[in-house]
Amino acid sequence: MPRFAFIALIPLLACSPQPVSDLQACDDSACRQQTLLVAFDTDPQSTVALLGDLEPVQQEALVRILAEQRTDQLEVSCGAVVAGSPAWAICSRLRERPHLVRGKRGTSAEGLPTRNGRGPVSRHPPIPTAVGEPPAETVQACAERFPGLDAAQAECLFLAAEALAGSERWRASADVLSLCVAAGDFVHGCLHHSIAKMLPPLPAADRAAPDDMTETLQAVDALTTAVGEADADAYASMFWSMWTVHSFRAAQRVDGRLLEVLPPLAEPHLRMAAAFRMLQLQGTTLEHDLAVWTAALEAALADPGVANPGSRHDATLWKSRDFWPADLIRAGEQNVPAAFCLGPGRRAISSDPHEDLKLALLESSARLSHPPAQEFYVGVVQGDGSLLVRWTAVRLLGALYPDALSQLALQDQPALLRLRAENPLREK
């Protein structure tokens, strides 16, 4: 299992503030844990830098205390750190793994609102309840390594799950998932990272062949078996949501090659990943017009492409923004059919493939590094598209350009539009 170790920090230069003396004088972990918070409150920069003189396990344990008990202050302190400075090694690690500061366990399945429409109730798959106990030796090792530090033990289990997923892939699905569940507040991040690492090498979307799918189908079967029947569909959906985006991210062109090899369950995810990749590749050359985009994507997916078995690559840890983290119950969003979107996240889906392409393109546009101007989304809201398409545009407009919502006259519109416009997404 890889150690979550912070790189040793260079001692502060003479012109820098001196480390807090009480913490510096400690020669054991108990003393450091007792004096850490006072030292950090007195001089956060010097305190974080002082951690670099400690061995990695002690660094990790003390940073976990700061992450739990001085969350906001640690973020502010790290926000002012300059790249290459003494505290950079620690703060950059926290940026890479933000759950260490802001980790929060999702609501249990029993506490979530009921959906009438099919699909996930939140951006994450449900926490599986059918997994067995995690490997006892790993749990014991983490407990002994970080006695009395719950968050540090949880991160230790998270890292163990990632390491196992990376080494054994989908064959270790049951143990990996059990470690993620045992990671407590970090369960969702652990599931995302670990499922990505468990994916077998996958083909680029424009070069896929039936032979590429043998191990992939074994992998999705292993995952759904591990989570149990009640959660199998949700995890199969998450699997294909992640698989298709990583497949299309490696594609040099968008075509319908994957339609020849993927099961029907994967098709909404294929459309979403294809839409995102098309806008990435051609977004600067296409007119910002949803009808134009839809026609272009339909034409691209009608091209069967050419199989090229063996051109496989590993998935990476990649995550896009989520623009629908929860249903607005008063608006009736629990009735909207949903699917995972480019991994963890949600979007609306339609049983009509043409309309579903429009939904996928709208969602994709908002996730570009440079989304279309607000006029694009306003035009869709005020256009003659379906209620589902217009609602998607309202939701994205409110997330990207909340001030533009005042341009809309929705008083006589359905509650789905009107209430979402009154309650734009506020990213956490």
pLDDT at 332: 95
Q: Are 366 and 394 in contact (CB under 8 A)?
A: no
Q: Are 204 and 252 in contact (CB under 8 A)?
A: yes
Per-block average pLDDT, block size 10, for the chain (428 residues)?
A: 34 40 79 84 78 67 71 64 57 58 50 80 90 94 88 88 95 96 90 93 92 94 96 95 94 94 95 97 84 96 86 81 92 96 95 97 94 95 96 96 92 94 80
pLDDT at 2: 40
What is the distance between the alpha carbons of residues 382 and 390, in angstroms, rounded to a whole number? 8
Take residue 91 and report the two structure tokens written for it: 């703060």
User: In Å, how far are 211, 229, 278, 280 from 251, measured between CA atoms?
Assistant: 18, 33, 10, 11
What is the distance between the alpha carbons of residues 261 and 386, in angstroms, rounded to a whole number? 31
What is the distance between the alpha carbons of residues 248 and 300, in angstroms, rounded to a whole number? 13
CA dihedral over 84, 88, 92, 95, signed as positive or negative: negative
**Alpha carbons within 13 A on the beta-carbon side of 18:** 5
Q: Are 103 and 151 in contact (CB under 8 A)?
A: yes
Contacts of 86 (CB under 8 A, 6+ apart): 9, 10, 11, 12, 16, 48, 49, 52
User: In Å, how far are 149, 187, 275 from 144, measured between CA atoms?
Assistant: 10, 21, 48
pLDDT at 87: 57
pLDDT at 11: 34
C-alpha of 401 from chain center: 22
Helix (H) or strand (E) holding 339: strand 338-340
- The domain limits of the chain are 21-102, 110-313, 329-422
Please name which of 362, 370, 351, 428 lies closest in space to residue 397, comparing C-alpha atoms: 362
- In this prediction the pTM is 0.76
Take residue 27 and report the two structure tokens written for it: 């020669």
Please name which of 207, 197, 235, 212 lies closest in space to residue 316, comparing C-alpha atoms: 197
312-313 vs 346-348, strand pairing mode: unpaired
At residue 106, what is the residue type? G
Q: Are 151 and 64 in contact (CB under 8 A)?
A: yes
pLDDT at 83: 62
Please name which of 378, 390, 384 lies closest in space to residue 415, comparing C-alpha atoms: 390
Where does residue 107 rank: exposed (0-12), middle (13-18), buried (19+ CB within 10 A)? Answer: middle
First to last CA, the chain: 32
